[in-house]
């Protein structure tokens, strides 16, 4: 499974906003890698950032 899919899965299972550090810890990967994926997902409109540095799925 690609990192992008894993990041999306973490957001789908969560009922609250998450930051990159939390997602990285959940997946046991480096935070910069997760930050890159989150940035791409945000540009694609999959994630939104209602609070600085915290993200959630756009379809919520």
**CATH tag for 3-57 (out of 1.10.3720.10, 3.40.50.1820, 1.25.40.10, 1.10.10.10):** 1.10.10.10
Classify the C-alpha dihedral 5-6-7-12 as positive or negative: positive
Cα 47 from Cα 50, distance rounded (Å): 10
Residues 6+ positions from 3 with CB-CB distance below 8 Å: 27, 29, 33, 34, 37
What length does the chain have? Answer: 60
Domain boundaries, the chain: 3-57
Q: Is residue 56 within 8 Å of 17, Cβ to Cβ?
A: yes
Instruction: Note the pLDDT tens digit of each residue in 28-55.
Output: 999 999 999 999 999 999 999 999 999 9
Q: What's residue 50's pLDDT?
A: 94
* Residue 38: other Cβ atoms inside 10 A: 24
Q: What's residue 60's pLDDT?
A: 52
């Amino acid at each position: 499974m690609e990192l992008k899919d894993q990041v999306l899965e973490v957001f789908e299972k969560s009922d609250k906003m998450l930051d990159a550090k939390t997602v990285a810890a959940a997946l046991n990967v480096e935070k910069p890698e997760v930050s890159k994926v989150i940035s791409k997902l945000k540009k694609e409109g999959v994630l939104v950032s209602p609070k600085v540095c915290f993200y959630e799925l756009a379809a919520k």
